[in-house]
Structure 1
Amino acid sequence: MLEKSLKLHSDVIIYDLEDSVAPAQKVIARENIVEFLSRDLQNIFESERISVRINSLDTPYFQDDISAILRIPSVQMIVLPKIHSTDDLNRVSKAISQRTRKSSREPVKLVASIESARALWAVGDIAGWKSPDGVATMSALLFAAEDFCADTSIIRTSSREELLYPRSKLALAAKAFDLQAIDMVCINYKDKDVLKQECAEGRRLGYSGKAGNTIPFGPQAIHPDQVDIIQDTFVPTKEELEIERAARIVHQMELSYASNKGAFGLDLSDGKAGKEMIDAPMLKQAEQTLRLAQNAGLQIPNVSQILHILLSNMKMRLISSMEFGVRLRSHGNDCDANECFQVQTPVTGIAVANTLLSPWGRQLVDLEMSLVRFVSDNVLKIMADMVSFILAAASSKSPDALSSPLHSSNGCSFVHSIEMKEWEDADERKEKERLQDLKERDASADPMKEKEKEKKKRVVEDHPSKRSGTVVEAQKRWLLADDTVARLVTLPGLRKRSRQEYLTRRVRFNR
């Protein structure tokens, strides 16, 4: 079994002295590990790939295990089972310090296995632990699901929803202290579908790899047959378009920062219409994806090179599909390097004109850079539309010559005028439209304001007339109160108020 481990293509190999070894075989297993790892394995393994899981602190094997392992120079990482608190880690640190006091050994990397309710309760303290002796550093947290369920009486189900909370808490604690988070073992090692599901869940929760008893680590597996599946799941894939999308985000953010913008809209890569907003947090996620892909040896697409190739292909398609004018043959220039063609259908945001294709370098480069920025925002749209754009002017001509007639070698004039429409940035265009809308709104609001002023003026002028009319009417009612005949004649012409009201007012007035 030890010899077979040399052929595994895993990130880290853990040689187990704990659960996978029977009590009667503990001493023999330790001797075999020491003998095997004391061999010259540098040509086969990097020292970072070798790790040993020793027996826990509360067993009689711990002291002998750690003494033997620390004598092996190639072992730089130790997996510690059943760590419940920082007190356990301090005891381990003290044991390491006693055995390495006179040596120049580098600090040992420790992986704490979270296997109990106490450990999960203190997982934040465990993740942030620092060795008081400076002889060890915390490297990763590992979730031992079976031991955890045994300690907490949790019943395992196929949905694994009962373990969502501890898995999430451990992953967050690891990320809070920049540690690796290693997910639980998939004990059903022959069911590849279950393994894929568990790996996908672990990756979504933020885990770095899959845990196991015997062989690989980061990602890890309980059986050698699981290694390839785990590694394929825990790295970004081209099929999922993760790497391509991450490369597009990083490239486009560089262009956005260059133009003093902090966010931009990225076209959806799954063929759906619309855009998603990209800003600094999503840039960080994209960089992490590219880092994982690079560590896994996957090819990262060069987005700027892809866009350049795409642009070149579009040029060739345009040249083959547009209506050509007359080819120039002048002063030894190759006719293929100078072709005049008519541009018919413009695309928003790109200057369009009847122009001349020639090796005028500077304008060609400037235009291509503008097109690359435009294409990076509108790749799918441009692929579907006919793109029309200016390439350059003749190398022997100035830009002013574009407005003068051009002639072929036989003297035939085929371009009489060229209207150069300056390319306008989308943000500038939106700002102009906004200002124009404000101007039109103000223009329509002025007449309304005048009408409002006139209305208020009329209301103010009416107030004195209303007050004077009320006084006159009151005087009439006063006189009518004592003249019954006059009241009967005049009352219908007054406001419809009762005689009792007039009499009441008169009584109040006399008082």
Structure 2
Amino acid sequence: MTVVSKIAPQFRRAAILYVPGSDERKVAKAFTHKTVDTRVLDLEDSVTIQKKSLARSIVCKTLANIPPQSNNSIVQETCVRINSVTSGLAESDLAAILPFNSLDSILVPKVNSASDIHFIQSVIAQHRSNTNIKILVGIESAKGLINLPHIIDASNIGTANDAGVDFKRRQGQIEALVFAAEDYAADLGLIRTPERTEMLFARQMVVTHAVANGLQAIDLVCVDFKNESVLRKECREGRTFGFTGKQAIHPDQVEIIQSCFLPSEIELKYAARILAEAGKYSGQGVGAFELDGKMIDAV
């Protein structure tokens, strides 16, 4: 049975591409990619501790020079992955990047508890008077997975005060959960396999909590980035599980990811037929109907 969904669409993040913030050439090249949904300028895992300051400088220079997008251009998101709260570098990262209006979102890695999000929101509030910064939450540990309900609730205004910070001053709304398989495996001591069965529970937990709270769920990185067949298999699997997008570590992965996670022309036409039929039958007080031999439940 097919169910007609009524979930409101968000900005699509079918493919999010990581770019090392310390590599000026790769950062510049990422902005020549005109179809990627989200460019993530990375200050975290792809940057050595010796190059953290350099990466901040390059990322800030880039943010300062991003031209406004024209109304008729493809919308692309500029995101920065900061260092984790526990690293002690997050506050300096945020202070450096938040003054730039070209910054659309922040990916917060290794989130383990609601207090991590409260800290990020309080720092954003010190540097931003508006609320247009979105937060993407990196789930990379057993604690992060188990604490997902509390982490997501941290984005809700008026639930509680944390460390004396008024929730009305908090900035930053969570829009997506991003599952980081390699760090998760390291945290749990998992043995990685080509079948990814060791990741099944965590991936489905991330999707379940994302859907329950109207968030996007971004699937793991395909580290075998030169193997197209493996990437396609992972994409099909992720979409089957309910993920709305996937992380990319190489520009060549973007088109393949988008082709798997964005609806095809055939799917769009079929969806249009379903909506047309649902509208017709709803006027007759009919909740379920048949289309092409399949039962459609228009709920």
**TM-score, scaled to structure 2:** 0.82
- How many residues of Structure 1 are paired with residues of Structure 2 in the alignment? 260
Alpha-carbon separation, structure 1, partners of 2:132 and 2:69: 23
Structure 2 residue 289 is matched with structure 1 residue 264? yes
Query: 245, 252, 257: which is aligned to 1:209?
Result: 245
Check whether the contact 1:84–1:122 (CA below 8 A) recurs between aligned residues. Answer: yes
Alpha-carbon separation, structure 1, partners of 2:275 and 2:127: 48
Cα offset, 1:146, TM superposition: 0.2
Query: Unaligned 5+ residue runs, structure 2?
Result: 1-25, 158-166
Cα offset, 1:107, TM superposition: 4.0
Provide the residue aligned with 2:262 in structure 1: 235
Check whether the contact 1:183–1:202 (CA below 8 A) recurs between aligned residues. Answer: yes
Provide the residue aligned with 1:280 in structure 2: 298
The 3-state SS of whatever aligns with 2:217 is strand
Cα offset, 1:242, TM superposition: 2.5
Provide the residue aligned with 2:236 in structure 1: 200
Provide the residue aligned with 2:31 in structure 1: 6
Query: 47, 50, 54: which is aligned to 1:28?
Result: 54
The 3-state SS of whatever aligns with 1:83 is coil
Provide the residue aligned with 1:509 in structure 2: none
* Identity value in percent: 38
Structure 2 residue 93 is matched with structure 1 residue 65? yes
Provide the residue aligned with 1:86 in structure 2: 114
Partner amino acid, structure 1, of 2:210: A
The 3-state SS of whatever aligns with 1:2 is helix
Alpha-carbon separation, structure 1, partners of 2:92 and 2:48: 16
The 3-state SS of whatever aligns with 1:75 is coil
CA RMSD of aligned residues (A): 1.8
Please give the residue correspondences for 1:132-281 in structure 2 after superposition, counting only pairs within 5 Å.
Answer: 132=167, 133-211=169-247, 221-238=248-265, 241-267=266-292, 275-281=293-299
Alpha-carbon separation, structure 2, partners of 1:4 and 1:264: 50
Cα offset, 1:62, TM superposition: 1.8
The 3-state SS of whatever aligns with 2:291 is strand
Partner amino acid, structure 2, of 1:167: R
Please give the residue correspondences for 1:439-458 in structure 2 after superposition, counting only pairs within 5 Å.
Answer: none
Alpha-carbon separation, structure 2, partners of 1:195 and 1:242: 21
Check whether the contact 1:15–1:51 (CA below 8 A) recurs between aligned residues. Answer: yes
Q: Between Structure 1 and Structure 2, whose CA radius of gyration is higher?
A: 1
Alpha-carbon separation, structure 2, partners of 1:245 and 1:205: 21
Alpha-carbon separation, structure 1, partners of 2:76 and 2:230: 30
Alpha-carbon separation, structure 2, partners of 1:195 and 1:180: 20
Query: Unaligned 5+ residue runs, structure 1?
Result: 212-220, 268-274, 282-511
Q: Which has the higher contact order (CA 8 A, sep 6+)?
A: 2
The 3-state SS of whatever aligns with 2:85 is coil
The structure whose residues are more often helix, as a share, is 1
Please give the residue correspondences for 1:100-111 in structure 2 after superposition, counting only pairs within 5 Å.
Answer: 100=128, 104-111=129-136
Alpha-carbon separation, structure 2, partners of 1:40 and 1:77: 14
Check whether the contact 2:176–2:215 (CA below 8 A) recurs between aligned residues. Answer: yes
Cα offset, 1:43, TM superposition: 4.4
- In structure 2, the CA distance between the partners of 1:227 and 1:94, relative to structure 1 (3 Å rule), is same
After superposition, give the CA deviation of every residue in 1:364-400 in whole Å (9 maximum; x if it has no partner). xxxxxxxxxxxxxxxxxxxxxxxxxxxxxxxxxxxxx
Query: 79, 99, 102: which is aligned to 2:127?
Result: 99
- In structure 2, the CA distance between the partners of 1:139 and 1:48, relative to structure 1 (3 Å rule), is farther
Alpha-carbon separation, structure 2, partners of 1:264 and 1:189: 43
Cα offset, 1:265, TM superposition: 1.6
Alpha-carbon separation, structure 1, partners of 2:275 and 2:132: 36
After superposition, give the CA deviation of every residue in 1:314-344 in whole Å (9 maximum; x if it has no partner). xxxxxxxxxxxxxxxxxxxxxxxxxxxxxxx
Cα offset, 1:138, TM superposition: 0.8
Check whether the contact 1:80–1:111 (CA below 8 A) recurs between aligned residues. Answer: yes
The structure whose residues are more often strand, as a share, is 2
Provide the residue aligned with 1:52 in structure 2: 80
